[in-house]
Amino acid sequence: MDPREAMIGEIEQDARETARCTGREALGTEVLAALRRVRRAGFVPEVEERSAWLNRPLSIGHGQTISQPFVVALMTDLLELAPEHRVLEVGTGSGYQAAVLAELAEKVFSVEIVPELAERARLALAREGYGRVHLRTGDGALGWPEEAPFDAIIVTAAAPSIPPDLVAQLRPGGRMAIPVGEPWGEQSLVLLRKEADGAVTRRTVLGVSFVPLTGERAFPRDGGTA
């Protein structure tokens, strides 16, 4: 079987096996099509290229990873993106998640705190045809206030609490997918929704394991938004 299709098959199997928690027995066809189109090998170090189509996380250096494709697909699906949407990604990493988002949304803004990873992601995104993704180096927990509000926000590292700056930059009616929990401890993928009146609701989706979100605003003194 083609390695790309084998990966998609494993993602579909994972979706069925976690449906009781996620409420999604099948992921959106547009999301799976986006994962088919994005060449994951273009976003991993050369030494990992042979493993690029495996449904597992891979090291990208600097203590960071490229997420498991199933997790990328699930988090993207939870955002329920539309072609006109503007999306903020916190934690560019390899650039792979940003490329998937760019297949589905009008504009993608991504923030990476590690300068070396930000530059590597910029080059990879341009090489793979996603040069229109907007990148910034900095503390992602601060968001990107000049470009707010966003229809969706995705955070690709675990925070002990939900950064309040990100909640403030979410458009009413928008969604945020974020892993919440202690570094290297128990973590949960959380789906946050901001209602039309500004009220915020949250739902725990699935147990996950992410590298920790770094930066001063990732650990607000007031504890952030629970």
> Which residues carry out catalysis?
67
DSSP tag of 82: -
Could you tell me the end-to-end alpha-carbon distance of the chain, in angstroms, rounded to an integer?
Answer: 45
Residues 6+ apart with CB under 8 A from 152: 79, 80, 81, 85, 86, 87, 88, 105, 170, 174, 175, 176, 177
Alpha helix locations (H) across 18-136?
Answer: 19-22, 29-37, 69-79, 96-102, 115-127
DSSP tag of 67: P
